[in-house]
Amino acid sequence: MENNEAPSPVQMFQTLTAYQDTGALKAALDLDLFTAIGEKGATAAELATRCEAAERGIRILSDYLTVLGFLEKKADRYHLTRDSATFLARNSPAYAGGAAEFLLGDHLTQAFANVAAAVRKGGTVLANGGSMAPEHPMWLSFARGMSWMMMPGAQALAEIAALDPTRATKVLDISASHGIWGLSFAQHNPRTRVVALDWAPVLQIAWENAQRMRLTARFSMIEGSAFEVDFGRDYDVILLPNFLHHFDPPACVHLLRKCHAALRENGRVAIVEFVPNPDRVSPPDAATFSLVMLVSTERGDAYTFAEFEQMLRDAGFTSIEQHSLPPGISTAIIAEKA
Amino acid sequence: MENNEAPSPVQMFQTLTAYQDTGALKAALDLDLFTAIGEKGATAAELATRCEAAERGIRILSDYLTVLGFLEKKADRYHLTRDSATFLARNSPAYAGGAAEFLLGDHLTQAFANVAAAVRKGGTVLANGGSMAPEHPMWLSFARGMSWMMMPGAQALAEIAALDPTRATKVLDISASHGIWGLSFAQHNPRTRVVALDWAPVLQIAWENAQRMRLTARFSMIEGSAFEVDFGRDYDVILLPNFLHHFDPPACVHLLRKCHAALRENGRVAIVEFVPNPDRVSPPDAATFSLVMLVSTERGDAYTFAEFEQMLRDAGFTSIEQHSLPPGISTAIIAEKA
């Protein structure tokens, strides 16, 4: 025994009720409570008016959020913390509450309602292969709500995999989603054109982001499945951001070979992934991602660097290297066409 | 600003995905994974056989539970932690996994799926007043799964509110559930008889516990609603364990007056509750309990000691005192018939 304290059921209890924390934060976003609190703070009575809710309900929810650390309570006034003001108030430029639409969408909540069934089967029990169903609406939620999480990594990747500025270059962004990964390359390189590939409804959001970033002149799109469409050819870089984890290694190798064929000589693939250490239980964010894939896809997983190395070699790549991307959750794996 | 670090969305992200931790632990209990691991530990392949599940599914779930701290992984073997061996392996005498049936029952998960609606209304949006519907089946789950949590507190309360051992005494246990609170008094006092009051289906579980504790000779039952049935009279102690939080203060006072009338001279009520501090945001377990009441009852709440004092005075009680009960989450409030 490493310590002499009595065994404790506290963590079991906290984990069995953790879903209640999720429910409380979701409610605050649904009610736009953080925006209503604003810079000056507010009482439950004031918030009840602003959120069109019962004062008693607001008081109890706000107390709960104070316990969780999302609010501070002084006398009977609730105030935003710095993190809440930055990420949870809708008028903040860094507002990230849109993530709730994806993270709490039916697809994921249904998948996590019966994890045991997926463990028994070894893959999702959702209809049509879960999140891999063609044009699954969850990817609209993802593109709308999750792009903010990708921005720091996308900016870093465009520098890590820098393109030759002295000539015209071309980037293919596979499973482009919001388009931020590819658009960051176009932003960094005035002579780079970007081709975004995804389901048609999702590309609408990438197009809007291209408009917002004033990059439509160097932005084009391919609609459909990466396994089926023609990629075109002579790309300098092909991006695979958060895509390979949905598939088993043979499917990944198949796709990497298709990328290999579409690259110019010495062209590179840049994979962005949650990459666990060889022990598969660290770091936490990458290691826990495997379960998301188990319950929501048929054969997906979070692969280690050694597994990606093997897949890339099998597909004909060389000079394989990895770079941690900010804010420290994702890893870029870059490899060259041999 | 108290610190110079950049604002972080990590807590938002963790809270929005906290329900996934709940889902993982529930799956492990459903599969009886902890029992299958046992004292010697096991590989994913061994567990797949024992749990009749896919090895890949077991590996991913076990890695996730390792990240959460419920397991330890050494090479490719998973081992129980001391807490898991004590509370999560079914062959442990302290097995507490039955709590999942109550904490993750439809009643609570449905209530927490739309917290915003309850905040708007100021009370549950579940049918028939939520958990207060007559003979709601959730109380069977509670009686079956949660009695282990009550045992240390029940033992302590029987000593704090000790009865005169020199004469015959009588205890009424309102909302007896598993019966543990009242039965602890009978266990401590050979001349004490206990009357347990609850819905008829729930009393079956209390009766089984009375049999297990060999106390049926001094144990009787009243079936029905505490607001409607005749209590009888001349009780030395009336217990109200985890009951008043379901109601608003006027209903609590009404019930306390009924208790007052059923007590002998100088008899006492002993209320067991989650009692937040006057700030209502500490301690965490008591403070967060308000939200459980908001979403699952029409008018319930977690009341402060000052609020209980007021209700008890209004009902004619005096000498009001509070005692923290082990393991430190619940409080006993004891008051005497004036």
- Determine the pLDDT at residue B4: 64
Whether B2 has a pLDDT exceeding 60, the answer reads no
Nearest to A22 among B19, B25, B287 (CB): B19
B-chain residues near A282 (CB < 8 A): 67
Both tokens of A236, joined, read 């300098």
Q: State pLDDT tens for residues A219-265.
A: 999 999 999 999 999 999 999 999 999 999 999 999 999 999 999 99
A-chain residues near B52 (CB < 8 A): 120
- Quick one: CA dihedral A268, A272, A273, A278, positive or negative? positive
A282: nearest CA partner in chain B: B67
Q: Which of A160, A189, A164, A186 is nearest to A173 (CA)?
A: A186
Nearest to A27 among B60, B99, B115 (CB): B115
Q: State pLDDT tens for residues B157-185.
A: 999 999 999 999 999 999 999 999 999 99
Cα A180 to Cα A207: distance, rounded to the nearest angstrom = 10
In angstroms, the separation between the Cα of residue B150 and the nearest Cα of chain A is: 13
Q: State pLDDT tens for residues A129-182.
A: 888 888 888 899 999 988 888 999 999 999 999 999 999 999 999 999 999 999
Both tokens of B84, joined, read 């898991």
Cα B3 to Cα B153: distance, rounded to the nearest angstrom = 41
A-chain residues near B281 (CB < 8 A): 63, 66-67, 73
B16, B119, B247, B248: best to mutate for the A interface, most A CBs within 10 A: B119
Task: Tell how strand B169-174 and strand B235-241 pair up.
Answer: parallel
A331 strand-pairing partners: A273, A324
In angstroms, the separation between the Cα of residue B128 and the nearest Cα of chain A is: 19
- Determine the pLDDT at residue A4: 64
* Confidence band of B65 (pLDDT split at 50, 70, 90): very high
Which residue has 């290999």 as its token pair?
Answer: A260
Q: Which of A324, A319, A323 is nearest to A336 (CA)?
A: A319
In angstroms, the separation between the Cα of residue A14 and the nearest Cα of chain B is: 9
Q: Which amino acid is at A215?
A: L
- Determine the pLDDT at residue A130: 82
Asked if B70's CB is within 8 angstroms of A120's CB, the reply is no
B-chain residues near A70 (CB < 8 A): 11-12, 15
Whether A1 has a pLDDT exceeding 80, the answer reads no
B-chain residues near A53 (CB < 8 A): 116, 119-120, 122
Question: Is the separation of the CB atoms in A119 and B65 below 8 Å?
Answer: no
Cα B136 to Cα A28: distance, rounded to the nearest angstrom = 29
Question: Is the separation of the CB atoms in A122 and B52 below 8 Å?
Answer: no
- Total residue count of chain B as it appears in this document: 338
- Determine the pLDDT at residue A147: 86
Average pLDDT taken over every residue of chain A: 96
Task: Tell how strand B219-223 and strand B192-198 pair up.
Answer: parallel
Question: Is the separation of the CB atoms in A170 and A193 below 8 Å?
Answer: yes
* Confidence band of A3 (pLDDT split at 50, 70, 90): low
- Total residue count of chain A as it appears in this document: 338
Asked if B64's CB is within 8 angstroms of A96's CB, the reply is no
B51: nearest CA partner in chain A: A120
Which residue has 């945001």 as its token pair?
Answer: B281
Q: State pLDDT tens for residues B261-272.
A: 999 999 999 999
DSSP state at residue B189: -
B-chain residues near A69 (CB < 8 A): 11
In angstroms, the separation between the Cα of residue B115 and the nearest Cα of chain A is: 5
Q: State pLDDT tens for residues B16-49.
A: 999 999 999 999 999 999 999 999 999 999 999 9
Both tokens of A171, joined, read 């980037």
E-strand stretches of chain B: 42-43, 71-74, 77-80, 169-174, 192-198, 219-223, 235-241, 263-273, 317-324, 331-337
Whether A298 has a pLDDT exceeding 50, the answer reads yes
- Determine the pLDDT at residue A131: 81
Q: Which residues are within 8 A (CB) of B162 and not within 5 positions of it... i.e. 6 or more apart?
A: B188, B189
> What Rg do the C-alpha atoms of chain A give, in angstroms?
22
* Confidence band of B1 (pLDDT split at 50, 70, 90): very low
Nearest to A116 among B30, B280, B293 (CB): B30
Nearest to A17 among B103, B114, B123 (CB): B103
- DSSP string of A40-91? T-EEHHHHHHHHTS-HHHHHHHHHHHHHHTSEEEETTEEEE-HHHHHHTSTT
Q: State pLDDT tens for residues B324-334.
A: 999 889 999 99
* Confidence band of B320 (pLDDT split at 50, 70, 90): very high
In angstroms, the separation between the Cα of residue A312 and the nearest Cα of chain B is: 22
Asked if A119's CB is within 8 angstroms of B290's CB, the reply is no
